[in-house]
Amino acid sequence: MPALKPSPIPGTQSLMPTTDVVAYCPGSFDPITYGHLDIIERAAKLFGTVIVAVATDAQKDHLFSTDERVALCREVCAHLPNVIVQPFAGLLVEAAHASGATVIIKGLRQPIDLSHEGPMAAMNHSLRPEIETMFLLASPAYTYVSSSLIKWVCGMGGDISAHVPAVVGQRLREKLGA
């Protein structure tokens, strides 16, 4: 976790990014949304390195290939110098460990997300107790944004420009013929 460092306010401390902590931010990112980007940007302020880990989950039908999702994430995160984008397969906690991460970052949009993410965090902790899971609550503007919903709205001809970066919207419309 980030080290507590002196704050400019006397008698207090604040969290400051430390260059030695690697955080792992996994997801399918099919496609990456402003909600994902919000979590990634906030994590990049807290940790020295953030690895955006694009899942190659074979059990899911992805609209974009792994290579396309990695490329889109790299393009969208290009303004963040401490963010690395890479694909991963297999157990999340083992991929995080292999990357040198000591923190897994998960975004939560709604309270129901915790019922799914909580048990996974507990299992990951049992497998690798040296890796912590940190939950970041979605910013209010993104609590209802999901990749699935974005794909559906776009496929129906709806305007998704407020929910995804322009390059993502363009590639999504091309994929869906919308």
SS3 content of the chain, % helix, strand, coil (to 5): 40, 25, 35
Pairing between β-strand 83-88 and β-strand 4-6 as defined by DSSP bridges: unpaired
Q: Determine which one of 69, 106, 147, 171 is catalytic.
A: 147
Q: Among this protein's residues, is 109 annotated catalytic?
A: yes
Q: Using H for helix, E for strand and C for coil, what is the string for 6-34? A: ECCCCCCEEECCEEEEEEEEEECCCCCCH
Catalytic member of 42, 74, 109, 175: 109
Told to judge if 45 belongs to the known catalytic residues of this protein, a careful annotator would answer no
**Whole-number Å distance between alpha carbons of 51 and 87:** 10
Q: Mind telling me the catalytic residues?
A: 36, 60, 109, 147
